[in-house]
Amino acid sequence: MAIPDKLAFVLLCWTCAFLLSWEISLGIILALVLAGTLIPPFKPNSDTGRKYFNRFLLYSIPLVMVLVTANGLLIHEGPVLLQSPLFSFYGGGVEYALTVSIRLVLLSVSVLLFFVSTRVRDIIDYLDSLGLPNSLVSILLLTLFFLEQVPGRISRVFTAQEARGAPVRKGIISRSKALFVVLSPLVLSSIVESVERGVALELRGYHAQRNVSRTSEPTARISRQGYVFLVLAAAIIIFEVSRWLLK
């Protein structure tokens, strides 16, 4: 599936997240999880991407449960689902929490699935073929590269601190105390690397060639499948707006 088709699909998912009920959004999330496992265009293109995608799904479940529990206890609206001498669990709060949390999960899953199933090089080539400035494309490429390297750098900093005798992995309290110890070398190393990359780009004549005009066509165009996604998104918007006006 071409990049424009995937972007149209992400737009469709975002439209569904904002306009449809949380039950439908939950069904779409399950469909996206199956698509990331079974459908080749949506499968993560690396083991690292697959690990991050599965980790996000794993972390989103307790997050949704916490939001549902907190809102069910604090928002006193709707019928009482569960009552005890100490607390009451209200249906209005549960519905509100499910609506917000499922919406956020659907927004995040659709974007994450797009990035893990698309090579960064393909994204950069497509943006470059659209005629975007070289500086903007390079900043995006370097940012994505930096974000991909952050977990490995943090692990190396933790290992170095442990070698010096610092208990940085012993529970959440130790990790919290070691936050600034980890951030300092991480930020400093990132600044040094950014300067080195800037000097390397300048030595290769990047600044002299940044105003070169492009005549190439985009490497990928939206197909009939992408137009179907856009039509579905437009139909959902029109239907929901019409239903709201006729109330």
Q: Any residues with CB less than 8 A from the CB of 220 and at least 6 apart, and which?
A: 2, 3, 4, 126
Residue type, 192: V
pLDDT-flagged residues of the chain (< 70): 134-135, 144-148, 161-162, 164-182, 194, 197-198, 201-220
pLDDT at residue number 130: 75
Cα end-to-end distance, the chain, whole Å: 40
Q: Which helix (H) or strand (E) holds 90?
A: strand 88-90
State the Cα–Cα distance between residues 235 and 159, nearest whole angstrom: 53
pLDDT reported for residue 213:
47
The residue type at 146: F
Answer for the pair 218, 130: CB distance below 8 angstroms, yes or no.
yes
Per-residue pLDDT, 212: 46
Gap between the Cα atoms of 75 and 50, Å rounded: 37
Q: What is the per-residue pLDDT for 179?
A: 66
Please give the Cα distance from 64 to 66 (Å, whole number). Answer: 5
> Which pLDDT does position 207 carry in this prediction?
53
- Res 188: pLDDT: 76
Q: What are phi and psi of 21, to 5 degrees?
A: -70, 165
Cα 214 from chain centre: 31
CB 101 within 8 A of CB 107: no
Residue with tokens 């006006």: 245
Q: What is the pLDDT of residue 123?
A: 78
CA neighbor of 76 nearest in space, from 98, 65, 91: 91
Q: What are residue 246's DSSP bridge partners? A: none
Distance CA 3, CA 115 (A): 10
- The one-letter amino acid code at 28 reads I
Inter-CA distances, 191 with 25, 196, 224, Å: 41, 9, 45
**Rounded Cα distance, 3 and 118, in Å:** 8
Q: By C-alpha distance, which of 74, 78, 40, 35 is closest to 57?
A: 35
